[in-house]
Amino acid sequence: MKTISENRAFGGVQGVYSHASEVCGCDMTFGMFLPEEAEHDPVPVLWYLSGLTCTHENAMVKAGAQAWAAEQGIALIFPDTSPRGPGVSNDDAFDLGQGAGFYVNATETPWAANFQMWDYITDELPRLLFSAYPLDESRQAITGHSMGGHGALTIAMSIPGRFRSVSAFAPIANPTASDWGRKQFTAYLGADTAKWAAHDASLLMKKRGFDGPILIDQGGSDQFLDLLRPEALAEAAASARQNITFRMQKGYDHSYFFVSTFMEDHISFHADALYA
Amino acid sequence: MKTISENRAFGGVQGVYSHASEVCGCDMTFGMFLPEEAEHDPVPVLWYLSGLTCTHENAMVKAGAQAWAAEQGIALIFPDTSPRGPGVSNDDAFDLGQGAGFYVNATETPWAANFQMWDYITDELPRLLFSAYPLDESRQAITGHSMGGHGALTIAMSIPGRFRSVSAFAPIANPTASDWGRKQFTAYLGADTAKWAAHDASLLMKKRGFDGPILIDQGGSDQFLDLLRPEALAEAAASARQNITFRMQKGYDHSYFFVSTFMEDHISFHADALYA
């Protein structure tokens, strides 16, 4: 593990670290905020998964999450959104390849060699973090924005018992029915659409749901509403009688101004679950 | 207007009054809570429409709304749910006839003679109240439970500009697709389903929506979920990009224990709109 930077922030430390990833076959970088409480005891963890084009850095710098995490004594993890580097496959489009891992394990050429983000986020990175830092593995929650909201929801529903709560800001909610999903799943997972269902939050909601509370915020003036398909998730969650709060926030768009506006609510929501 | 009872409550007055209704062709009874502020100035108004089998009295006694209305300086109106009396048609079923007006103007025999609840709630009763009491007609909001949630949503969407906010507890959300709706609409409005659409919150949401905020609470363990169809409204609202907060409340049922639990949130929500 290599320390890229460490900055004191809100009484704790905002760090950036890199490590050699076995599953992604490249060096991976992540951000981590440790609140002051981590100096003496393991603290609860909130994972924040970012959206298309983002690195570990965007939310760390623009979401304003540390203020509230510090208030609640919660650690924040900001993973990258894909493998990266000159030896890693890429595409000219902003929504495929580097910066667009979509939180799946690619099975197709050329992506399979490095794009194993599901295993990275659910297995390799947590094993590394929980062995190296004062983090309480029994108290985890997960959130994310856009593609990261998709990641948070699909991962939380697929690994029952790991996360006490899940939230999302403007998640890609129904990728099997959207151009943010079909294109990437075809590239990463192949043309067999049966393999896509495990990575669609609305389909997972209908199939199994989440055994804990969910909070969703969606901007009513989001420029990507047609691609995000919040209505599919809203319908699925209500049909499943899922414990959920779904909020359509009038006038907000897809930006970090939207995310930061509602960050306090999300961290407070997760704190309720993490300290229950 | 005849005073049935008046009781001081939370610094104000909880009254019950009756009057001869022209549109319903019978005497009608309603409850009204006036907060202390009404002693010197007109106050904002929150209408509360009740559900099947209820009179003006159920919510007035069991919802605990006066405490929060008093805190916010808001008046509460509790109308009855249908015309009543020995000269008024009825049915042995609890969900048709007296106690089950469904907030429509009946056109069919034998109901048309008295069951004009749409006109009563939207025209006759407000005209009477605003001429007789210190109520601010320019600051109105509306809520309701079950059949009353259906009434609140359909009325608010159908009269743009009258209500600043609307909320509902476990509303009958899609009556044209439910046995709580098809049966009653057939009886009151006739078999032509085209006439039903104006009284279905999910269809109205798709057609026009509401120009203001909406709050919906639905118990996740509600025994009538299949009849209420919250998923239809959730999908419609998200598709319409409606400014809405939809909450599925885990473990709550259809009772007034559910309603009273979340009443503070609803009155606070309406106060934000009424005092904006």
Specify the DSSP class assigned to residue B170.
S
Closest alpha carbon within chain A to B211: A250
Residue A95 at interface with chain B, using a CB cutoff of 8 Å: no
Q: What pLDDT does A58 receive?
A: 93
Residue A248 at interface with chain B, using a CB cutoff of 8 Å: yes
Q: In the CATH hierarchy, which fold is given to the domain comprising B2-275?
A: Rossmann fold (3.40.50)
Find the mean pLDDT for residues B173-202.
Answer: 97
Q: pTM, whole model, 2 decimals? A: 0.87
> Which chain A residues are Cβ-neighbours of B218 within 8 angstroms?
238
- What average pLDDT does the structure give for chain B? 96
Find the mean pLDDT for residues B41-65.
Answer: 95
Query: Does residue B36 register a pLDDT over 90?
Result: yes
* Alpha carbons A153 and A151: distance in angstroms, whole number: 6
| Cα separations in angstroms, A232 against A12, A219, B160, B232, B236 | 39, 15, 27, 11, 10
Distance from CA of B100 to the nearest CA of A (A): 26
Task: Quote the tokens at residue B68.
Answer: 């929060």
- Best residue in A205, A215, A222, A239 to probe B by mutation, most B CBs within 10 Å? A239
> Which chain A residues are Cβ-neighbours of B246 within 8 angstroms?
234, 238, 245-247
Specify the DSSP class assigned to residue A94.
T
Q: Which residues of chain A have pLDDT under 50?
A: none
If pLDDT is split at 50, 70 and 90, which confidence band does B9 have?
Answer: confident
Do A239 and B231 lie within an 8 Å CB cutoff?
Answer: yes
pLDDT in tens, B193-239: 999 999 999 999 999 999 999 999 999 999 999 999 999 999 999 99
Q: What pLDDT does B10 receive?
A: 84
What type of residue is A170?
A
Query: Does residue B244 register a pLDDT over 90?
Result: yes
Do B235 and A230 lie within an 8 Å CB cutoff?
Answer: no
Residue holding tokens 């639905």? B218
Phi-psi region of A204 (alpha: psi -120 to 50; beta: other; left: phi over 0): alpha
Residue A238 at interface with chain B, using a CB cutoff of 8 Å: yes
What type of residue is A139?
R
Find the mean pLDDT for residues B139-162.
Answer: 98
* Residue ranges of domains in chain A: 2-275
B239 annotated active-site: no
Closest alpha carbon within chain B to A219: B241
Q: What pLDDT does A23 receive?
A: 98
Residue A8 at interface with chain B, using a CB cutoff of 8 Å: no
pLDDT in tens, A101-133: 999 999 999 999 999 999 999 999 999 999 999
The dihedral built from the CA positions of residue A30, A35, A38 and A44, taken in this order, carries a sign that is negative
If pLDDT is split at 50, 70 and 90, which confidence band does B262 have?
Answer: very high
Do B231 and A220 lie within an 8 Å CB cutoff?
Answer: no
Do B239 and A231 lie within an 8 Å CB cutoff?
Answer: yes
> Which chain B residues are Cβ-neighbours of A231 within 8 angstroms?
235, 238-239
| Helices within B112-229 (DSSP H only) | 117-119, 125-132, 147-158, 182-189, 201-207, 225-228
